[in-house]
Structure 1
Amino acid sequence: MATRLVQINMKAREDAALGGFWARVLGWEISSEGPGVTNLEPPGFTYPDPVAVCIDLIASAEPKTVKNRVHIDLASESVAHQAETVERLLGLGATHVDIGQGDAPFTVLADPEGNEFCVLDPRPIYRDTGPIAAVVVDCADPAAQARFWGRAMDWTVHEVTEFSASLRSAQGVGPYLEFIKTPDAKTVWNRVHLDIRPYPGDNVAAEVARLTGLGATPIDLDDKISWRVLADPEGNEFCLLAPG
């Protein structure tokens, strides 16, 4: 059995408005599976496909109170393209934010609801990822996180250092999943989290047991929902969706 990262779940005060922002940022299409849910996918995309990690925006009245532990890094093709992208996103409603990045080559922005994201300087490793270069997770121990997530999913661990670790789909396409060492402690539920999905024919209960054996912790919520909520070894919540 195995899972794969299929989407990012992002809480939003106004899911349709924030979804419109991100659709324009990425050049993606908007749909909705019901009230309070806005789904974003690339044009012509057939879900699920590792060539892209989709975005689901879910309406929530809970306010954003701390820096997100999960964020998106956007790719750029050149220094000029990076600058053009930053200006375009500022025009769409993004704002500059200071998270202590100092004189970094990347630019840190926030979307209209304050969710931080980065517009990266051009890097060869991200030349074929699509607009999202990486989904980035703050952590205390990148190596331990890479061990857990490399076993939890069929994604391949690419690089592990004291300060960072990266994974990518087994097919070698789409964005990277990266873990970056940070001294910041987790204090609240993650406003942005990962959604993973087993393959068709897999058993959800067996998958929960497998993930728990790897170090995940099940979180009991409404038993009427069709997915399971767990936390990774550092307490980051994630959803295990129905097989598909």
Structure 2
Amino acid sequence: MRLENIVMQARDPQATGRFWSAALALVDGRPAFEGDYEGRLTFGEDAWLDICIEPVPDPPPPGWRLHLDLAGGADQEAVVQRLLALGASRLDIGQGAVPWVVLADPDGNPFCVMEEREVYRDTGPVAALPLDSADPERDGRLYAALTGWVPAPGVAPVTLRHPSLRGPLLELCEEPEPKRRQNRTHLDVRPEAGGPDQEALVGLALELGATRSTEPWAAGHSWVVLHDVSGNELCILADE
């Protein structure tokens, strides 16, 4: 199995996708559905994530439980200026005086440009994927089991990373408040040939505390929509 997709939502997936493609130097792909966007972020031999953007009619609501932290480091201000030129905007979410910079993509999805941190070495353009969690230890066990990612040094209560120890960190962070609505960004896991199939991965996730989504929009797909222990959406894709 592998962590395959970071799935985002936007009112205009193509315009938002052009921003992220330029921002992260993605290799544009062929989305599964017309009107969606898909681009690949490669961070090592056989190590990659696809960023997929699907259409929604509404702007981003307040609150964001999963977002992208981009690498800034010593060039943080230059990175910020480049992203602003590509169509990002500055965003005040009450962060106050922090060393990172909060921006929004053209559709209003928040993301951060991070200061220099040793733990972000060799991540590539995406430094981290912070995910709000009511129980980082328990959610960490779930994501480690489903993705094959391994514990790694970090600043969050639980940090996972691709076993090559390259690419972004998956950070399980203490949630500021309980989940209230569908997340605008979620993760997809894909079964791989020779490993557990979709049914087995769903069973494993349920054993580790996940639950099946009962929302009407979650039914009738080739993938299975789950909620982790904290309620965050997570999809198990069909077998390869």
Counterpart AA for 2:13: D
Moved more, 213-222 or 16-25: 213-222
The structure 1 residue matched to 2:85, chosen from 80, 88, 91, is: 91
Change (3 A) 1:43 1:146: closer
The structure 2 residue matched to 1:182, chosen from 168, 175, 178, is: 175
Change (3 A) 1:166 1:188: same
The structure 2 residue matched to 1:169, chosen from 156, 162, 169, is: 162
Q: Which residue of 2 aligns with 1:138?
A: 132
Runs of 5+ consecutive residues of structure 2 not aligned to the other structure: none
* C-alpha distance in structure 2 between counterparts of 1:159 and 1:123, whole Å: 11
Q: Which residue of 2 aligns with 1:63?
A: 59
Q: Does 1:107 align with 2:101?
A: yes
The structure 2 residue matched to 1:76, chosen from 54, 72, 76, is: 72
* C-alpha distance in structure 1 between counterparts of 2:82 and 2:72, whole Å: 13
Contact 1:20 1:30 in 2 (8 A): no
Moved more, 231-240 or 23-32: 23-32
Contact 1:23 1:29 in 2 (8 A): yes
Q: Which residue of 2 aligns with 1:158?
A: 152
Q: What TM-score comes out, normalization by structure 2 length?
A: 0.90
Q: Which residue of 2 aligns with 1:7?
A: 5
Counterpart AA for 1:40: G
- The runs of at least 4 aligned residues of structure 1 exceeding 4 Å deviation read 43-46
Contact 2:134 2:229 in 1 (8 A): no
Offset of 1:160 from its aligned partner? 7.8
Change (3 A) 1:206 1:44: closer
Give secondary structure in 2 for the equivalent of 1:183: coil
Counterpart AA for 2:239: P
CA deviation profile, 1:127-169 (whole Å, cap 9, x unmatched): 21110111111122322222222223311122588x6321001
Moved more, 198-207 or 85-94: 198-207
Offset of 1:182 from its aligned partner? 2.9
Offset of 1:35 from its aligned partner? 1.1
Offset of 1:64 from its aligned partner? 1.9
* Paired residues, number: 235
The structure 2 residue matched to 1:241, chosen from 224, 237, 240, is: 237
* C-alpha distance in structure 1 between counterparts of 2:115 and 2:42, whole Å: 25
Change (3 A) 1:154 1:102: same
Percent identity of paired positions between Structure 1 and Structure 2: 39
Q: Which residue of 1 aligns with 2:116?
A: 122
* C-alpha distance in structure 2 between counterparts of 1:176 and 1:44, whole Å: 12
Moved more, 177-186 or 20-29: 177-186
Q: What is the Cα-based RMSD across aligned positions, in Å? A: 2.1
* C-alpha distance in structure 2 between counterparts of 1:95 and 1:180, whole Å: 25
